[in-house]
Amino acid sequence: MNQLVRMFVIVFVASFGLLYLTSYLNSSAGYSGNNTLTIYNWGDYIDPDLLSRFEKETGIKVIYQTFDSNEAMMTKIAQGGTTFDVSIPSEYAISKMKEENLLLELDHSKLPNLKYIDPRFMNLSFDQDNAYSIPYFWGTVGIVFNPELVGDLTFTSWDDLWDESLRNQILLVDGAREVIGMGLNSLHYSLNDTNEAHLQEAKAKLQLLTPNVKAIVGDEIKLLLANEEAAVGLVWSGDASEIMDQNDKLDYIVPEEGSNLWFDNMVIPKTARNIEGAHQFINFMLDPEVAAQNAEYVGYSTPNKAALELLPEDISTDERFYPDEELTSKLEVYNNLGKKMLAHYNELFLEFKMHKK
């Protein structure tokens, strides 16, 4: 028994000593909580020069980590094993993270540059009063198409996708909310509709689309459309921008019936240790000059109204990616439908995919 106790004491002392040494070394190297900031973001979703500039201006060391899905990000933050001071989830994830108490409230008095955000993109349903999140980038869901491959067909409405000339020419992104939402919008219903009759009507209409659908795919949709493997695609505007950079023949529209308005917002997770530094970083990213530089690098739409005035005219006046207020008034953010209804959307989408096969 005495031997067992001695072994326990030795292990305890060694572990404590290792933790102390690690803390000391990190502090000596400039990695203590007050002068480091751990940012958790999507891959290639910020201009690296801006991170260097933030470090020089503030003296805060940035540790940058990436995730490839909202779900992976939420799981890691919920586990709490890693400190993240700032993260950039999408709107539906923000709603879930609020429910699960994974976010800290923001102190708007420490964000004077918040005044530059376009009021259209503030106080939305997933975070009223922006108590927990600040807009970073935004976009839409719409139709990317190759004019050379669709003949005389023009796209203004979701209904144009049902044209018989598009047989086996459409690629759909593999997303239940996007595809079921398209069906609902084409019938002039909300893409957050929970009326069962409307959902069944949308599914039935989508099944009529299957002869035109070549495939339902993931991220490879960008390469396939750029390489002209299909004439038309249902995509997010950010992907459309990337596709059009690779093949300038293509064009993008948001149908007149309306569509999804998506957001990625900056938040401070509950794991944050450097809350002051997190506010400094968010306010830094809201500076018009910084936001403009970031938008030009990433290629997505900035919600920063002052930054928009600093962007090249061919970007700032491109209504495909910066639609006017008349169109944005018809766009909807995805509401948190709850687990039961979301599962039902996924079930309807699976039935549609099985019908396609």
Q: Band the pLDDT of 30: cuts 50, 70, 90.
A: very low
246 and 270 belong to one structural domain: no
**Same domain for 95 and 56?**
yes
The mean pLDDT value of the chain amounts to 90
Q: Which two tokens stand for residue 329?
A: 């008034």
- Given a cut of 90, whether residue 29 has pLDDT beyond it is no
Considering the domain architecture, whether residues 214 and 109 belong to the same structural domain is answered as: no
Q: Are residues 117 and 143 in the same domain?
A: no
What are 140's two structure tokens?
């839409």
pLDDT tens figures, 196-210: 999 999 999 999 999
Beta bridge partners of 39: 64, 86
| Same domain? 257 vs 325 | yes
What pLDDT score was predicted for residue 33?
Answer: 53
| Residues 236 and 311 both lie in one domain | no
pLDDT at 4 over 50: no
Q: Indicate the pTM of the whole model.
A: 0.81
Q: What is the CATH number of the domain that holds 67?
A: 3.40.190.10
255 and 180 together in one domain:
yes
Q: What is the pLDDT of residues 77-104, one digit of tens each?
A: 999 988 999 999 999 899 999 999 999 9
Q: Tell me the average pLDDT across 282-295.
A: 98
- Do 73 and 67 touch, CB atoms closer than 8 A? yes
On whether both 130 and 156 belong to a single domain, the answer is no
Alpha-carbon span 348 to 354, nearest angstrom: 10
- Do both 324 and 350 map to the same domain? yes
Q: Range of 129's domain?
A: 34-137+265-316
Give tens-digit pLDDT for 340-357.
998 999 999 999 998 766
Q: In this structure, are 207 and 229 located in the same domain?
A: yes
As a residue count, the chain comes to 357
In the chain, the number of structural domains is 3
**Residue 154 and residue 213 in one domain:** yes
User: Do 157 and 60 have their domain in common?
Assistant: no
Q: What is the mean pLDDT of residues 173-190?
A: 95
* pLDDT above 60 for 7: no
Would you tell me how many other CB atoms lie within 10 Å of the CB of residue 68? 10
